[in-house]
Structure 1
Amino acid sequence: MYDKIIKLSFKEEYLMEINDILEKFNFKGELEECNVFGSGHINTTYLAKYIENGKEKKYVVQKVNTNIFPDIDSLMNNVFSVTEFLRKKIIENGGNPHRETLHFIRTYDKNKYFKDENGDCYRAYRFVDNSKAYDTVNSAEIFGKSGKAFGRFQKYLSDFPAETLSEIIKNFHNTIWRYENEFIPAVQADKADRVASCSDEIKFVMHRREDCKKLVELIEKGELPLRVTHNDTKLNNVLFDSESDDAICVIDLDTVMPGLALYDFGDSIRFGANSCAEDDDNYDNVKINLDYFEAYAKGFLSEAGSALNQCEIDNLAFSAKLMTFECGMRFLTDYINGDTYFKTAYPTHNLVRAKNQFALVSDMEDKMAQMEQIIKNIT
């Protein structure tokens, strides 16, 4: 099909003929070039450029890490269902479906991904031109715009039947489950002989056991509805227009599944409104930036506010604390287990991360009344 053979080094171990993968997908035009693209740590990504009628078209091709995501069928079913639903909503609201959501491409066999003879799985989607992403939060304005994007994501998907999606990671934000089934067993087993070195942090977690149950119990009471959630609401998962700097598209949909809108809001605040990096060991400087919190909340609620119920709105501030606490508990659990999950750069890296997150939790507890008032002022 192609008059060019494009070879790329893959993990510096062998050369793969990426064109063999490209020709499985229903791309338009003639292949011009293909290169390794992006800096993601989970999936291997390529950017393929085609020429059709003199115009350049770009496609992103990814080898999905099936060690992380073994149920590729469920993952891709979720992604296709959500993006096709979003496309219709964007059109209904006068938006641009080519820029405001990812457009996944089927194979020539009409499949949602291609599986090669080695069992490796590849998927493809259209590249969003004239866009950029930010890795760090450098201003309240940019953070607020990302809140607007994730709020719009919630608004457009508010009437999507979330129960039809597969749960890609079981009990991902079930905080009480993580406490009872991961944290407590880790402390009891003390496999890496580290419990004695983090007794204060263990007490910190145990004293907040009741917090772990709050949102789960509200789900059981029917006060918090299951919604479509993104579950990785970092700033770099929003694309911004290269010229206007407006947030246009939410990306990285691998963990889209049923959950709470509060999970996405809270994790955004945990990541973006921390005055320090999450592994900064100067814990006295770890504070929640209330200006960033307010900017994000305004952006998020300007889009999602009308779709949320009162219980969701009332728990937005708490969700920021809970998601930060849960993340810290996961770091501490991994430290106690001997660093078997998160990548670390030095022996106490996970403990430092946990202490950092717990310092942020403590500051949020001190400022919870202010955070709740900010939400009330917006709504």
Structure 2
Amino acid sequence: MDIMHSVLASYGFNRDSYTIERFGNGLINDTCLVKKEGDRYILQRINKAVFSNPLLIAENIEKIGAYLAKINTSYFFTTPCKTLAGDSIVCVEDGYYRMFPFVSGSHTIDVVQTPQQAFEAAAQFGQFTRVLSGMDIHSINITLPAFHDLALRYNQFLEALVKGNAARIAEVAGLVQQLKEQAHIVDEYNHILHDNAFRLRVTHHDTKISNVLFDEENKGLCVIDLDTVMPGYFISDVGDMMRTYLCPVSEEEKDYSKIEIREEFYFAIVNGYKTFMETELTDTEKQYFFYAGKFMIYMQALRFITDYINNDVYYGARYPGHNLVRATNQSILLQRLLEKEPVFSAR
């Protein structure tokens, strides 16, 4: 806590003038709510174990803010508070911190419960990419190299099958075979990388529902947590929404009978995203909404099983077999999605 007091002093906050409390359920960054004389702020410590150079994040946010100011758009964008020295990020002994004003009347949602919520979130992520369509894509820093590189994840999976825990490899032979049979998803990804019809854009890359601010009427206000904003393809944002919105249970669910695809949520994502991206997407890209779901679910299944085979060195495990449960969960989710292809392709 003394470190946080030191950080807040950088913003000119007197130690006796504010209170601090934990805020939200984020898994990556530590987040606190700071209350000072009727005002509220969000203070975050950036996870340096995940983001090796947080200054790249700060630079991206500043560039985006400057671009939006230049084009004089009405788009609502949350910018970080400046320290007394004029910095947007504070470096102290335990890492990097940044602070944002709390948006009055706003709230976040942890779990998607209605198609309307899915629609609103998808519209916000689509609007974010659309409003930044005029930015020089090469001016945006890559904060997590190869984050959504499916070819890399598949190669890591194959390498784990050679170098990983032999007992675990034998244990998951059936699941490994199932995932290998879906390797054509990797082939499609490699095709996308070389098809000029697919455009690199400013994309968020972490489109879970909790990264959208909603107003008091549950209408989307804006997207938040811009740490993963990088050049990318639309399949990353749409795919992550499908992976996390379509099923009523998360990747942590052990009762696989609860895994299903909610059709109305699929169309809510597509229609919400198209609200702002209809004229931005190429005709070819518009044919890849269903693929986006396959792409992201398959990649996450690969990452979980790879980590399990490698003795849980990346995600860790809260109980024995945790990553195997996650990998199996995502593999089943992929199968449930594939079963819906005739329905989704017909509309």
- Identify the TM-score tier after normalising by the shorter chain: over 0.9
Please say if residues 151 and 189 of structure 2, whose CA atoms lie closer than 8 Å, have aligned partners that are also in contact.
no
AA at the equivalent of 2:77: T
Query: What's 1:11 paired with?
Result: none
Matched, 1:198 2:172: yes
Alpha-carbon displacement from aligned partner over 1:236-264 (angstroms, at most 9, x marks no partner): 1111102x110111011111111111110
Change (3 A) 1:293 1:121: same
Please identify the structure whose Cα radius of gyration is greater. Answer: 1
AA at the equivalent of 1:115: C
C-alpha separation in 2, matches of 1:272 and 1:298: 14
AA at the equivalent of 1:224: F
Query: What's 1:336 paired with?
Result: 309
Query: What's 2:220 paired with?
Result: 247
Alpha-carbon displacement from aligned partner over 1:46-69 (angstroms, at most 9, x marks no partner): 322334xxxx33222222221221
C-alpha separation in 2, matches of 1:284 and 1:120: 42
AA at the equivalent of 2:293: A
Query: What's 2:266 paired with?
Result: 293
Change (3 A) 1:31 1:183: same
Matched, 1:237 2:211: yes
C-alpha separation in 1, matches of 2:13 and 2:183: 52
Deviation for aligned residue 1:204:
1.4
Query: What's 1:164 paired with?
Result: 139
Q: For residues 72-111 of structure 1, what are the structure 2 equivalents within 5 Å?
A: 72-86=54-68, 91-92=72-73, 94-95=74-75, 100-111=76-87
In structure 1, list runs of 5 or more residues that go unmatched: 1-7, 9-15, 375-379
Kindly tell me the number of residue pairs found equivalent between the two proteins: 346
Q: Aligned residues: percent identity?
A: 28
Query: What's 2:105 paired with?
Result: 130
Secondary structure, aligned partner of 1:339 = coil
Deviation for aligned residue 1:345:
2.6
Deviation for aligned residue 1:232:
0.9
AA at the equivalent of 2:191: E
Deviation for aligned residue 1:44:
2.2
Query: What's 2:51 paired with?
Result: 69
AA at the equivalent of 1:220: H
Secondary structure, aligned partner of 1:125 = strand
Query: What's 1:221 paired with?
Result: 195
AA at the equivalent of 1:34: I
Please say if residues 150 and 250 of structure 1, whose CA atoms lie closer than 8 Å, have aligned partners that are also in contact.
yes
Please say if residues 57 and 227 of structure 2, whose CA atoms lie closer than 8 Å, have aligned partners that are also in contact.
yes
Query: What's 1:262 paired with?
Result: 235
Alpha-carbon displacement from aligned partner over 1:100-127 (angstroms, at most 9, x marks no partner): 32111222222231112x2522112221
Alpha-carbon displacement from aligned partner over 1:175-232 (angstroms, at most 9, x marks no partner): 111111x101101113262011111111112112221132332222322111111111
When normalised by structure 2's length, the TM-score is 0.93
When normalised by structure 1's length, the TM-score is 0.85
Query: What's 1:207 paired with?
Result: 181
C-alpha separation in 2, matches of 1:275 and 1:65: 29
Give the number of the structure with larger relative contact order, counting CA–CA contacts within 8 Å between residues 6 or more apart.
2
Query: What's 2:22 paired with?
Result: 36
AA at the equivalent of 1:145: E
Change (3 A) 1:370 1:163: farther
AA at the equivalent of 2:304: F
AA at the equivalent of 2:187: K
Deviation for aligned residue 1:139:
1.0
Query: What's 1:280 paired with?
Result: 253
Matched, 1:313 2:299: no
Change (3 A) 1:45 1:277: closer
Query: What's 2:339 paired with?
Result: 366
In structure 2, list runs of 5 or more residues that go unmatched: none
Change (3 A) 1:157 1:192: farther
Query: What's 1:13 paired with?
Result: none
